[in-house]
Structure 1
Amino acid sequence: MIELKDISKIYKSKNGEITAVKNVNLSINKGEIFGIIGYSGAGKSTMIRLLNGLEKPSNGTVTVNGKQISSISGNELRNARQKISMIFQHFNLLWSRTVAENIAFPLEIAGVSKTERSKRVKELIDLVGLSGRENAYPSQLSGGQKQRVGIARALANNPEVLLCDEATSALDPETTDSILELLLDINKRLGLTIVLITHEMHVIRKICNRVAVMEAGQVVEQGDVLRVFQNPQAEITKNFVMQVSGTKESKESIEQILANYPTGKIVKLTFIGNKTEQPIISQLIKEFGVEVNIVHGNISQTTGGPYGTLIVQIDGDSTKVKQALELLDQQEVQTEVIDHA
């Protein structure tokens, strides 16, 4: 559906060249929700502008639904863009138009008849949960309702790709979740390919199938969300995962744990999928007679299944402790001995 090959984007300035995107290769499947995450300045905004043809790459090719967006122009590019819609952080609504009129706007531009416009607008208002608000103006809406209008407007021309540029960053956590649930529902109902640009790992965890992590214009890591959560490789990815898993162990916290549990081994366990529901701790106690104290634990849900981390103290006979750790490996539980107590 979407293919980026050897993409680079270099801007010229008075102080020399600035590389916003460097040697990016990405493949996004039809019908999936793909997340691109990075901090400010990582190159995310440039990436989304390359995807919809607002920017041309300095090198490489961008292909969306069989059209090489990076090389076409004029009417051909305008026609291709009709199948690539976008929603924004700050909604970009027309404040002098009602909800219905905002949603109808792209249909007017496309020359759709008034009768067909009215029918389509009603369908979209129902789809995004705004029935009864069609005659309200943006100033009369909450942030979440404004974003629902933005989503409905983006869907007006039956796009095949929906680009979301920090679409939930201006919303409170509860409203963010409701918008993410709406996007997930739209993806399932319409089979729409969704690309999410964000700096929030919660957004990735909540609805994305796969993720690419950007830093300094480069993709430093990509893969299935669950696997990235389980075993992040890049330091920046580890930081993002820590945002939602609550598993960041500072030097001070480790020292405090070791002070509180001076014997045995302190072990960090990582579970994925149905392993999070297995009584592994009780199995260790029964089978090896070791003492297991839970120091810290957390379970996060991803679209690929649950992901859990647990920090425990395993104490007892050294041979039995070793056997317990071996059993954990056999159970496909990722183990990391933080330090010897």
Structure 2
Amino acid sequence: MISLKNISKKFSTKQGTIVAVEEVNLDIKKGEIFGIIGYSGAGKSTLIRLLNGLEKPTSGEIIVNNEDITKINEVKLRQVRQKVSMIFQHFNLLWSRTVEENIAFPLEIAGIPPAQRSQRVKELIDLVGLEGRGHYYPSQLSGGQKQRVGIARALANRPEVLLCDEATSALDPETTDSILDLLVSINAKLGLTIVLITHEMQVIQKICGRVAVMEKGHVVEEGNVLDVFQNPQQTITKRFVSQVSDSNKALQTIQQLKELYPNGKLIKLVFVGEQAVQPILSRLIKQFDLEVNIVQGNISHTQTGAFGTLILQLEGEALLIDDAIRYIHEQKVNTEVINND
């Protein structure tokens, strides 16, 4: 669906050349929700603007539906943009227009007759859950409702790709969840490919199937969201995963337990998919004569399955502890013994 090949983007300034994106290679599949995460300055906003031709790359190729958009003229680029729509952090609505008129705006530009526009607007208002608010102005809407208008407007011309540029960053957590649920619903109903950029791992966790992590213009890690949660490779990825797992708090507790139980062993269990709902802990307690203290437990749900972590303190005979750890391994649970030094 979308393929980026050795994409770089450089900006010339009075202070010199700024490299915003460097040698990025990505493949985004048709119909998936793909996340791009990074902190401010990572290059993710520049990257998403490259996907619909709002920015031209300095080098590389961007293939959208078998079309290299870096090599087409403006007429063909405008046609491509009709199939690659975008929603923004601050909504970008026309404040002098009603909800209906905002949604109809791209249809007007496309020359769609009034009767067809009206029918399409009604469909979209129903789709995004704004029934009864068609005649409202943006100033009369909540933040979540404004973003729903933005989504409806982006869908007006029946795009194949929806780009989301920090689309939930201006919203409170509850409203964020409702907008993310709406995007998942739209993805399922329309088969729409969604590319979402964010600096919040909770957003990636909730709706994305795959994720690319950006730092200083580079994609430093990429993969299935569940795999990234289970085994983050880069320091920055571990920081993002800790937003959800609260591992910093766990480490503080671990340090305390090292002092309280110097002769025991601390182990971290990582559960993935069906493992996350298996009663492994109760089986462990029944089969082994050990003191088992739960330090921390957490289960997160992603689009591709559940991911859980459990930190235990095992105290008892050394051979029994080793047998217990082997038993956990046999259950295909990723186990890490935390150094008690």
Which category of TM-score, normalised to the shorter sequence, fits these structures?
over 0.9
Residue 73 of structure 1 deviates from its aligned partner by: 2.4
Tell me if the contact between 1:247 and 1:309 (Cα under 8 Å) persists in the aligned partners.
Answer: no
- 1:311 corresponds to: 311
- Partners of 1:252 and 1:283 in 2: CA distance: 28
- Partners of 1:260 and 1:176 in 2: CA distance: 41
Query: Is 2:267 the partner of 1:276?
Result: no
CA deviations 1:2-44 (Å, max 9, x no partner) are 0000111111111221110011100000000000000000001
- 2:41 corresponds to: 41
The code of the aligned residue for 2:89 comes to Q
CA deviations 1:93-140 (Å, max 9, x no partner) are 000000000000000000000000000000000000000000000000
- Partners of 2:73 and 2:47 in 1: CA distance: 18
- Partners of 1:81 and 1:147 in 2: CA distance: 20
22-31 or 251-260, which moves further after superposition?
251-260
The code of the aligned residue for 1:257 comes to L
- Partners of 2:203 and 2:267 in 1: CA distance: 29
Residue 61 of structure 1 deviates from its aligned partner by: 0.3
Residue 252 of structure 1 deviates from its aligned partner by: 4.5
Query: Is 2:29 the partner of 1:22?
Result: no
Structure 2: runs of 5+ lacking an equivalent: none
SS in 2 for 1:22: strand
SS in 1 for 2:300: strand
Tell me if the contact between 1:144 and 1:175 (Cα under 8 Å) persists in the aligned partners.
Answer: yes
- 2:234 corresponds to: 234
SS in 1 for 2:247: coil
- 2:70 corresponds to: 70
Query: Is 2:96 the partner of 1:96?
Result: yes
Query: Is 2:160 the partner of 1:189?
Result: no
Tell me if the contact between 2:36 and 2:214 (Cα under 8 Å) persists in the aligned partners.
Answer: yes
- 1:299 corresponds to: 299
Query: Is 2:139 the partner of 1:144?
Result: no
SS in 2 for 1:248: helix
Tell me if the contact between 2:36 and 2:195 (Cα under 8 Å) persists in the aligned partners.
Answer: yes
- Partners of 1:231 and 1:318 in 2: CA distance: 28
The code of the aligned residue for 2:77 comes to L
Tell me if the contact between 1:50 and 1:70 (Cα under 8 Å) persists in the aligned partners.
Answer: no
- 2:131 corresponds to: 131
SS in 2 for 1:308: strand
Q: Relative to 1, partners in 2 of residues 1:221 and 1:138: Cα closer, same or farther, differing over 3 Å?
A: same
Residue 235 of structure 1 deviates from its aligned partner by: 0.5
Which of structure 1's runs of 4+ aligned residues deviate more than 6 A? Answer: none
174-183 or 62-71, which moves further after superposition?
62-71
Tell me if the contact between 1:165 and 1:197 (Cα under 8 Å) persists in the aligned partners.
Answer: yes
Q: Relative to 1, partners in 2 of residues 1:252 and 1:291: Cα closer, same or farther, differing over 3 Å?
A: closer
Percent identical:
67
114-123 or 69-78, which moves further after superposition?
69-78
Residue 267 of structure 1 deviates from its aligned partner by: 0.8
- Partners of 1:252 and 1:93 in 2: CA distance: 46
SS in 2 for 1:307: strand
Q: Work out the number of aligned pairs and report it.
A: 341
- 2:265 corresponds to: 265
- 2:176 corresponds to: 176
Residue 249 of structure 1 deviates from its aligned partner by: 5.3
- Partners of 2:311 and 2:250 in 1: CA distance: 13
SS in 1 for 2:339: strand
The code of the aligned residue for 2:54 comes to L
Q: Relative to 1, partners in 2 of residues 1:281 and 1:250: Cα closer, same or farther, differing over 3 Å?
A: closer
- 1:209 corresponds to: 209
Residue 57 of structure 1 deviates from its aligned partner by: 1.0
- 1:223 corresponds to: 223
CA deviations 1:298-317 (Å, max 9, x no partner) are 11110111111111101111
The code of the aligned residue for 2:297 comes to G
- Partners of 2:330 and 2:220 in 1: CA distance: 30
Residue 262 of structure 1 deviates from its aligned partner by: 2.9
- 2:52 corresponds to: 52
TM (normalized to structure 2)? 0.98
Tell me if the contact between 2:294 and 2:310 (Cα under 8 Å) persists in the aligned partners.
Answer: yes
TM (normalized to structure 1)? 0.98
The code of the aligned residue for 1:181 comes to D
The code of the aligned residue for 1:10 comes to K
108-117 or 238-247, which moves further after superposition?
238-247
Residue 289 of structure 1 deviates from its aligned partner by: 1.8
SS in 1 for 2:248: coil
Residue 251 of structure 1 deviates from its aligned partner by: 6.2
The code of the aligned residue for 2:307 comes to Y
7-16 or 89-98, which moves further after superposition?
7-16
The code of the aligned residue for 1:301 comes to H
CA deviations 1:147-197 (Å, max 9, x no partner) are 000000000000000000000000000000000000000000000000001
Tell me if the contact between 1:48 and 1:163 (Cα under 8 Å) persists in the aligned partners.
Answer: yes
- 2:82 corresponds to: 82
SS in 2 for 1:24: strand
Residue 66 of structure 1 deviates from its aligned partner by: 1.5
Structure 1: runs of 5+ lacking an equivalent: none
- 2:4 corresponds to: 4
- Partners of 2:257 and 2:308 in 1: CA distance: 19
